[in-house]
Amino acid sequence: MAKLKPQTQTRRVLTYARPYWRTLSLATLCLLLSSGISLSLPWLLCDPVNIMLAQKSIPDLNIFMALIVLFFIQTLLSFAHNYLSGAVGQRVLADLRVGLFSHLQSLSLHFFLRRRTGELLSRLTNDLAEVQTLATELPVNIVRQAVILVGGVSIILVMNWRLSFLAFFLIPVIIFFARFMGRRLKALSTAVQDHLAQTTTLMEEMISGIRSIKSFGRETYEKERFSQQTGKTLAIMLKRLKISAAFGPLMVFLGFSTACGLMWYGAREVFLGKLSPGELIAFIMYAVIITGPVGSFARLFSKLQEGLGASRRVFELLDTVPKISDQRDAKILPALLGAVEFDRVCFHYIEGQAVLREVSFKIAPGEKVALVGPSGAGKSTLIHLLHRFYDPVSGGIFIDGQALQGLQLKSYYDQIAYVPQEVVLFGGTLRENILYGKLQASEAELISASKAAYAHEFIMAFPEGYETLVGEKGLTLSGGQRHRIAIARAFLKNPRMLILDEATAYLDNESERFIQAALDNLMKDKTTFMIAHRLTTIQKVDRILVFNQGRLAEEGNHEQLMAQQGLYHHLYTLKQADPLAPPQSV
């Protein structure tokens, strides 16, 4: 992807704030007024200070009390501005987060295979937070500092230009230090973000891989890996901390030194009668006020860089085009009959490593087809292609005579159902999990689907029945139970074509019997493709496609293939000898 120019990027980030322009305008108005008050304060203090120094009348000093009112108004304005711009920031962040979530879902499997989950999560959290700063806090802050800088400089020039030039000579020293440290800070901040993303990735891998870690007893190894990463992150964070901790104090030191220099020269001007004592104090206050924006411009600049870096990563994600999407003239698939044809389909994940080679077959509506073959033969890949998770590299797939690539995906997915090998239940109730198959299904439909899937009985045995919570915060179901929930989901959907990946995990006889009966119910009159791992299933299907190294090696029903005494016969005999642990799926 071509890199976006910083200006284009900033403009793009700002488009997210556009819907909230009214609130932002109000926030900016409050900001301008409160900055105006800040600027007027030294000026307003001039006379009271002169009065105090001349020890004139005491009632004149009441002006100090009037200043409290002004301070109070400024406090209210600052509050309003902080709250309003902060609220817009949070809204922009929420919009971006939802946008990114929904875009991620639309991307093809290709994309997810190349990325690590932790890295994606880091973009959804850390990077988005930085973009939020870029979209709202930064513009407002830059305006505030610019107003104070321009206003302050104009006022002191009018007050005493000679003294002003001395100030302009001293201030660049501050600018130099601020920019130098700002740049260092920016480089280190980027490194910190990268290290944090890697730390998140490791955490995520630990959580998702906890079973393997435990069963291999690799806790110490993983802890070591994590400590090393954390150590690296810590080292770079401490480096950044050193610079950021020195930044503020150094700026204050330079500010005070400038003030002393100005006092030294300004007092002469007072002796010569060119400046009143009150004006000198006001002048010094302005010089300090001007130093603030100069220091923070460098910091804002580094924040801007951080925000732009993060926004580049976020936009990279948003600009990733799904490899698989509807063609412009995609046709809506009418009621699916279930005829499937593969015509010389070739496929690879990695160039030069063919996974499917010239695979051709024709399946009639309603046929039950089992895919078998040694591990790595390409069965799952064929199922992916049938799902159009990927497109073939060459050759064509036809559904009821129409090219799959030319069909509107939703109209196709609405009519097929997939029961995976490893069923994932989403956090929520059992009811919600089954309704995933048809969101608006009635209670009667829900129960009838669960009964047909042999799930109703075990669900009702839970005290909470269909309202039982599953997933992270709830109950963990057994593999067999999860499978039956997935079958109930598929029943609700009432598809015309089924894709099944039989569980390889060993299920007890009872569980297996239930699942088999549920699947028999589900498959009735539907074209069914399944990766079969059980002998009982395989003997019942109409046709068996035997794959070997990406080629369709044999084709026929059980009896025909056994009579051929080929690969199928070999796999079947092996499996019969040891039904539990063969490396091939028959």
378 near 547, Cβ under 8 Å? yes
Supply the minimum distance, in Å, between the C-beta of residue 376 and ligand ATP.
4
Residue 581 makes contact with ligand ATP by CB under 6 A:
no
Residue 108 makes contact with ligand ATP by CB under 6 A:
no
Supply the minimum distance, in Å, between the C-beta of residue 202 and ligand ATP.
22
530 near 500, Cβ under 8 Å? yes
Distance (Å, rounded) from C-alpha 497 to C-alpha 337?
Answer: 8
Supply the minimum distance, in Å, between the C-beta of residue 416 and ligand ATP.
19
Between residues 468 and 585, which has the closer beta carbon with respect to ligand ATP? 585
Residue 355 makes contact with ligand ATP by CB under 6 A:
yes
Helix (H) or strand (E) holding 348: strand 340-348
Pattern 371-390, binding to ligand ATP, x per CB under 6 A?
--x-xxxxxxx---------
Q: Which residues contact residue 542 at a Cβ distance below 8 angstroms, ignoring those fewer than 6 apart?
A: 367, 368, 369, 557
Interacting residue with ligand ATP among 350, 439, 580, 581 (CB under 6 A): 350
Q: Which residues contact residue 418 at a Cβ distance below 8 angstroms, ignoring those fewer than 6 apart?
A: 387, 490, 498, 499, 500, 501
Between residues 400 and 555, which has the closer beta carbon with respect to ligand ATP? 555
Residues 250-309 that bind ligand ATP (CB under 6 A): none
Between residues 82 and 380, which has the closer beta carbon with respect to ligand ATP? 380
Distance (Å, rounded) from C-alpha 27 to C-alpha 561?
Answer: 77
**By CB under 6 A, how many residues form the interface with ligand ATP?**
13
Residue 113 makes contact with ligand ATP by CB under 6 A:
yes
Q: Which residue has the tokens 């009112």?
A: 69
Residue 392 makes contact with ligand ATP by CB under 6 A:
no
Distance (Å, rounded) from C-alpha 432 to C-alpha 438?
Answer: 10
Taking every pair of C-alpha atoms in the chain, what is the biggest distance, in angstroms? Answer: 121
Residue 444 makes contact with ligand ATP by CB under 6 A:
no
Distance (Å, rounded) from C-alpha 114 to C-alpha 69?
Answer: 61
Between residues 255 and 373, which has the closer beta carbon with respect to ligand ATP? 373
Supply the minimum distance, in Å, between the C-beta of residue 515 and ligand ATP.
19
Burial of 530 (0-12, 13-18, 19+ CB in 10 A): buried
Residues 60-89 that bind ligand ATP (CB under 6 A): none
Pattern 222-241, binding to ligand ATP, x per CB under 6 A?
--------------------
Residue 586 makes contact with ligand ATP by CB under 6 A:
no
Distance (Å, rounded) from C-alpha 393 to C-alpha 499?
Answer: 22
Supply the minimum distance, in Å, between the C-beta of residue 505 and ligand ATP.
13
Contacts with ligand ATP by CB under 6 A lie at: 113, 349-350, 355, 373, 375-381, 585
